[in-house]
Amino acid sequence: MLRMDTIQYNLPQDRIPRVWYNVLPDLPKPMAPPLHPGTHKPIGPDDLAPLFPMGLILQEVSGEREIEIPAEVRQIYAQWRPSPLYRARRLEKALDTPAHIYYKYEGVSPAGSHKLNTAVAQAYYNKKEGTKHLSTETGAGQWGSALAMACSFFGLDCKVYMVRVSYDQKPYRRALMEAFGASVTASPSMETESGRAILAEHPDSNGSLGIAISEAVEVAAKDPNTKYALGSVLNHVLLHQTVIGQEAIEQMALAGDDPDVIIGCTGGGSNFAGLVMPYIGRKLKGQSSARVVAVEPAACPSLTKGRFTYDFGDTGHLTPLVKMHTLGSTFIPPGIHAGGLRYHGMAPLVSHVLDLGLAEAVTVQQLDAFAAGIQFARAEGIIPAPEANHAVAATIGEALQAKAEGKARTILFNLSGHGHFDMQSYIAYQAGKLENYEYPAEEIAMALAGLPAFE
């Protein structure tokens, strides 16, 4: 029999998960509630109604363990789901490691990343409740592309505020969004009060996700036919991503292996949560003892250096206050940082799970992340998105540690997307133009000093 260099563990289409898995009822402690930005009192579903359709709000606050995936959403998922799980034998060989390395590959979605898993669901619930326009922000452009595609499938208008620096550096991402029919504006823009306020002070602002979120939220809050969509951070977004982990559990069973360590990169926390929450559910039932590792850039270290406290989701302070690991909502990532994962906060659910000791967090420097991505590409033939390179670097670290200890170890990581639209950052890396950068602790302390205490 032919011994495969790379092994695919594929599931048939009828194994696309029927439910999204909500870890909340299985956790030993509930999450801290989101607070109203004005009154600082816990918010209810009605407070969110101007921004989101009720179908998504109910998921945001749901205590149900399983939430049925609508047939219309599963039908669209069938275009690329179940996504493949690979065993990276050539990478194992290149590292000369006794470790088994598996990766769940979300780059097979037409938008090129896991983000389409939630974009389709969000567009579906909005369409069902009569929304006409969706407004959103995008940083690197993956979320904007995913939502633009989902909106075109459901006949919704899509308005994207794209962080200025990406707008200038990533014309292909913009072109993709426009090809799907979205309208794309560089943020900060003159179209919103939030954008004008920033430009008045910083006319040449590079923008940030926090600023772009303020613009997109403002537009939705002011127009009854427009709702807002967020690509990460919120409970309902993380929930939609749990199709990844549920499939991985079945595929690892096909492989006859069980992960000792599960790894995902974290920006807002959604691809990480999507892979690990179903496993954390098993851990809580005593069915898995895997270590769960979140990997973030040293340049944007919300989990490892940020404070676990109430903060705003945006720079303009229009969103509810949520308890999360944060660098402060005025955080603007250093211009030198090319690896994505630039949000100032972290999903409250991921922050909570870390606080409960069910996951750990590490940082990776960007030169190590790109070196790992190149090594992975040369062995496996897939160019990872720069974000996913952080997970690859941590995986290689684990595999080399297993080798040093002479021990077997089964590693599973989420390859959240491909890097085909991010080659500019690879060009910069290959040209020696990237540097390592650690976000200074004093900056974080300063950014957080202005926040009132809520505990």
Ligand X SMILES: *Cc1c(COP(=O)(O)O)cnc(C)c1O
Instruction: Check binding of 265 to ligand X (CB under 6 A).
Output: yes
**Residue closer to ligand X, measured from CB, 142 or 194:** 142
Q: How far is the CB of 440 from ligand X (least distance, A)?
A: 23
Q: How far is the CB of 455 from ligand X (least distance, A)?
A: 26
For residues 135 and 158, give the distance between their C-alpha atoms in angstroms, rounded to a whole number.
6
Q: How far is the CB of 221 from ligand X (least distance, A)?
A: 23
Instruction: Check binding of 235 to ligand X (CB under 6 A).
Output: no
Q: Which residue has the tokens 């420097």?
A: 365
**Residue closer to ligand X, measured from CB, 161 or 272:** 272
By rule CB under 6 A, what count of residues binds ligand X? 19
Instruction: Check binding of 268 to ligand X (CB under 6 A).
Output: yes
**Residue closer to ligand X, measured from CB, 373 or 409:** 373
- Which of the ranges 167-175, 265-273, 365-373, 431-439 carries the binding residues for ligand X, by CB under 6 A? 265-273
Cis, peptide link before residue 25, omega less than 30° from 0: no
CA distance readout (Å), 34 to 78, 380, 392, 402: 34, 42, 33, 41
Instruction: Check binding of 305 to ligand X (CB under 6 A).
Output: no
Instruction: Check binding of 267 to ligand X (CB under 6 A).
Output: yes
Tokens (6 digits) for 417: 């997307």
- Transcribe 349-397 into DSSP letters: HHHHHHHTTS-EEEEE-HHHHHHHHHHHHHHHS--B-HHHHHHHHHHHH
**Which residue's CB comes closest to ligand X?**
417
CA distance readout (Å), 422 to 135, 254, 339: 24, 33, 9
Cβ–Cβ under 8 Å, residues 114 and 82: no
Q: How far is the CB of 143 from ligand X (least distance, A)?
A: 6
**Residue closer to ligand X, measured from CB, 185 or 389:** 389
Instruction: Check binding of 271 to ligand X (CB under 6 A).
Output: yes
Instruction: Check binding of 383 to ligand X (CB under 6 A).
Output: no
For residues 150 and 156, give the distance between their C-alpha atoms in angstroms, rounded to a whole number.
8
**Residue closer to ligand X, measured from CB, 52 or 272:** 272
**Residue closer to ligand X, measured from CB, 97 or 246:** 246
**Residue closer to ligand X, measured from CB, 332 or 341:** 341
**Residue closer to ligand X, measured from CB, 47 or 106:** 106
CA distance readout (Å), 60 to 21, 27, 34, 200, 236: 13, 16, 11, 35, 5
Question: Of 152-211, which residues contact ligand X (CB under 6 A)?
Answer: none
Instruction: Check binding of 150 to ligand X (CB under 6 A).
Output: no
For residues 77 and 117, give the distance between their C-alpha atoms in angstroms, rounded to a whole number.
7
**Residue closer to ligand X, measured from CB, 74 or 342:** 342
DSSP state of 24: G
Instruction: Check binding of 341 to ligand X (CB under 6 A).
Output: yes
Instruction: Check binding of 142 to ligand X (CB under 6 A).
Output: yes
**Residue closer to ligand X, measured from CB, 188 or 264:** 264
Q: How far is the CB of 327 from ligand X (least distance, A)?
A: 15
Site string for ligand X, 404-423 (x = CB under 6 A): ------------xx------
Judged by CB under 6 A, which of 252, 277, 388, 399 binds ligand X? 388
Please, which residues have CB within 8 angstroms of residue 389's CB and are 6 or more apart in sequence? 265, 339, 369, 370, 372, 373, 376, 419
Category of 184 on φ-ψ map: left (φ > 0), alpha (ψ -120 to 50) or beta: beta
Instruction: Check binding of 245 to ligand X (CB under 6 A).
Output: no
- Which of the ranges 45-53, 56-64, 83-91, 260-268 carries the binding residues for ligand X, by CB under 6 A? 260-268
**Residue closer to ligand X, measured from CB, 141 or 328:** 141
Q: How far is the CB of 245 from ligand X (least distance, A)?
A: 13
Site string for ligand X, 87-116 (x = CB under 6 A): --------------------------x-x-
Category of 269 on φ-ψ map: left (φ > 0), alpha (ψ -120 to 50) or beta: left
DSSP helix/strand/coil, 75 = helix
Tokens (6 digits) for 76: 């669209």
For residues 205 and 402, give the distance between their C-alpha atoms in angstroms, rounded to a whole number.
45
Instruction: Check binding of 292 to ligand X (CB under 6 A).
Output: no
What does R_g of the chain's alpha carbons equal in angstroms?
A: 20
Q: How far is the CB of 266 from ligand X (least distance, A)?
A: 5
**Residue closer to ligand X, measured from CB, 27 or 265:** 265
Tokens (6 digits) for 319: 């969103």
Select from 261, 263, 277 the least CA-distant residue to 352.
277
Query: CB count, 10 Å around CB of 3?
Result: 6
Instruction: Check binding of 216 to ligand X (CB under 6 A).
Output: no
Beta bridge partners of 42: 35
Instruction: Check binding of 266 to ligand X (CB under 6 A).
Output: yes
- Binding site residues, ligand X, CB under 6 A: 113, 115, 142-143, 232, 265-272, 341, 385, 387-388, 416-417
